[in-house]
Amino acid sequence: MFFIISQATLVEAVAVFCRKTREANSASHITPKERDRLISVFRQDSRDEYQLVNVTKTVYKRAGDLCRIHPLRAYDAIQLACALAINRRLISSGQPAPVFVSADDRLLDIARAEGFGVENPNNYP
């Protein structure tokens, strides 16, 4: 098994860690020290463990087209467009289709509508 992420995830993950630091009254609050550790680990994993899908002009166009069909936020559309691009590459090379992973149930519903098997990491304690 291997993990494939969009280049957009490099920004989105950091933004999530930063938001969790700012939300002091949240059950998922983290300290600035923990935020920085998580960002460091994520960036290291991104270099060593994950395959990156480039966000190209074609991906941007496909993301815009997806917004015409589905109620997507911009970064969600880019994530899904990247997943569709890698899905085509994997299927054409005889590999199994990827599973789309997100903690956003609305995005998972849209990914499912686009033909993906989906997983929500929040379903695993």
| Predicted local distance difference test score (pLDDT) of residue 121 | 93
Contact 57, 9 (CB under 8 A): no
- Joined together, the tokens standing for residue 72 give 């997507």
| Predicted local distance difference test score (pLDDT) of residue 112 | 98
Whether 111 shows a pLDDT value over 80: the answer reads yes
Q: For residue range 21-46, what is the model confidence (pLDDT) as tens digits?
A: 999 888 889 999 999 999 999 999 99
Write down the pTM of the prediction: 0.86
H or E stretch covering 102: none
d(CA 37, CA 57): 33
Reference 10, options 78, 106, 112; nearest CA is 78
DSSP state of 121: G
